[in-house]
Each structure stands twice: as structure tokens, then as C-alpha cells.
């Protein structure tokens, strides 16, 4: 689904604060191991023919390595996030500066409505799914629809461990997707089930290894290690799992998809 992503080498990645159920200051990050995991992930993504653009991490922004949360890219336009928590708001200017230097047009969502980019907004063919509740405000999606020029399929999250949509939902293409059923309200599940022909329901153990927090590259699914049932389900449907360890990043509540912002995934604008 993507062939170009933005990543941020985690040279200043650490846990300085606690803004989701995964983060504990007492659970220290092994910096050298995190850097090795990130570099291996980058290699695996590039081996699939994906171009990786890089943004330098600011020392005061330990979560900046989770680039998916920076915003959404639509052609030559970048719509930056309005982060909910003050601890991450300082990332916004760094991402805006990078995209402006790369000659993108920057269009913002009205404050004070918060939303957190590709963490909660994911394309699926000619549709776009948007999660809301914990990090993205419902009303922010009204303006985002105007900016994107398309209707958003809105799904409400129901488990704070899956605080972003991309932690519990992954469109695979061709009518397939992975999801964690318990991470959504009944209405949210109904929306997802209505829009896909075939769904892989990820079980509790592998959902907590962020099996759904995956990057899809054609028929290859780059994902965390230790999810054998999900890998089997993917292979049964003609997909191949490319496993890459992200345990150090799960300490902060992120995995493969959180570490990548897709720069080419949104298709042409469809009139609403």
C-alpha cells in the first residue's frame, strides 16, 4: 500500500513521561537495543523496495521516532497533527519545518480540536478510516474531511491500551484487514465488518504484541515478531509476513506502523 515512508532514527528515544497505559518511567528503554531494532526495521522495509526519508529527532522530543503520529500526507499536502498531550506538542514544529523544506503545502486543523495523524487515520482503498476517542477528537474529523475532500468512516475506540487506530486495525488491501474486535465499540466493529469482505480477528495475546501495528507493502506485511497465529492467517490469504522485533518500542506503546509515516498511501481525492 505504500512505497515511500518517513522515519526518524531513535537517537533520543526514551520514556520521560506516561501518557498511555504502556508507558512507565520505571521500564527503562535500552537505547542501544532500540537503535538496533529500528535500523533492522529500516533495512527490512528498504529491502521491499520502499524509499525511506529521514527526519532528525529533536533531543527534547523522545517520541518523535513515532512518525506516524505526525499527520497525514495527501499528494504534496501535509496536514499536521494537533497532539492531545503537551509532552508531544513540541514535535509539531519540527515536522512542519521538515515538510515545508521538502516543498509540501501545510494545511492545519482548527485548534483546539486534537487529532493525531496516521495513528488514527488510515486509507483502505478508496475509503479512509478514522479512529477517535483517546487521541483524536470527533469534531476534529469534521474539519479533516473538508481538508482531505473525502468522507471518513469513523470508528470509536473502546480500550485505552489501543489508544490509536493503527494499534488495533490494519487494512491489507483487496477487501482484507486485520483488527482487534475488543478494541472497538459495538458500533465501531459494525462499521469495520460492513466495509471488508474478509477480516483477521487478532486474539488477545498477539494484539498485545501489536500484530495489527503493521506496514503493508503490496502483499508483504511488516510486523512485530512473536505473532504466529496472525502470520498463519496472513499466509492463508496470500500475504507474507516480514517480522522485525520492536519490543523496545512497545514499551512506549508503538511498533512497526507507529515508526513509519506513509508518504504516498492516500489515493486521488474522491468527491463527497
Catalytic residues: 164, 258
Q: How far apart are CA 32 and CA 36, in angstroms?
A: 6
Cβ pair 196, 188 in contact under 8 A = no
Q: How far is Cα 65 from Cα 87, in angstroms, rounded to an integer? A: 14
Phi first, then psi: give them for residue 233, nearest 5 degrees: -65, -40
Strand order in the sheet with 169-173: 169-173, 176-179, 198-201
Rounded to 5 degrees, what angle do the CA atoms 123, 84, 149 make? 35
**Among 200, 177, 201, 181, CA closest to 190:** 181
Amino acid at each position: 500500500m505504500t512505497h515511500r515512508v518517513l522515519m526518524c532514527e531513535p537517537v533520543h528515544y526514551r520514556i520521560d513521561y506516561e501518557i498511555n497505559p504502556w508507558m512507565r518511567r520505571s521500564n527503562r528503554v535500552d537505547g542501544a537495543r532500540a537503535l538496533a531494532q529500528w535500523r533492522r526495521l529500516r533495512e527490512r522495509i528498504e529491502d521491499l523496495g520502499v524509499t525511506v526519508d529521514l527526519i532528525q529527532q529533536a533531543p527534547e522530543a523522545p517520541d518523535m521516532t513515532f512518525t506516524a503520529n505526525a499527520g497525514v500526507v495527501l499528494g504534496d499536502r501535509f496536514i499536521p497533527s494537533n497532539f492531545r498531550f503537551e509532552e508531544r506538542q513540541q514535535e509539531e514544529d519540527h515536522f512542519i519545518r521538515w515538510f515545508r523544506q521538502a516543498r509540501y503545502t501545510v494545511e492545519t486543523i482548527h485548534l483546539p480540536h486534537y487529532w493525531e495523524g496516521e495513528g488514527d487515520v488510515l486509507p483502505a482503498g478508496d475509503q479512509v478510516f478514522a479512529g477517535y476517542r483517546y487521541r483524536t477528537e470527533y469534531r476534529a474529523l469534521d474539519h479533516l474531511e473538508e481538508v482531505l475532500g473525502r468522507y471518513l468512516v469513523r470508528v470509536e475506540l473502546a480500550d485505552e491500551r489501543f489508544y490509536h487506530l493503527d494499534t488495533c486495525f490494519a487494512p491489507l488491501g483487496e477487501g482484507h484487514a486485520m483488527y482487534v474486535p475488543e478494541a472497538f465499540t459495538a458500533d465501531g466493529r459494525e462499521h469495520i465488518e460492513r466495509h471488508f469482505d474478509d477480516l483477521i480477528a487478532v486474539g488477545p495475546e498477539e494484539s498485545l504484541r501489536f500484530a495489527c501495528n503493521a506496514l503493508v507493502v503490496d502483499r508483504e506485511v511488516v510486523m512485530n515478531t512473536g505473532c504466529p497465529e496472525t502470520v498463519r492467517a496472513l499466509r492463508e490469504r496470500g500475504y507474507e509476513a516480514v517480522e522485525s522485533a520492536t519490543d523496545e518500542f512497545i514499551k512506549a506503546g508503538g511498533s512497526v506502523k507507529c515508526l513509519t509515516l506513509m508518504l504516498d498511501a492516500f489515493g486521488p481525492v474522491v468527491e463527497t
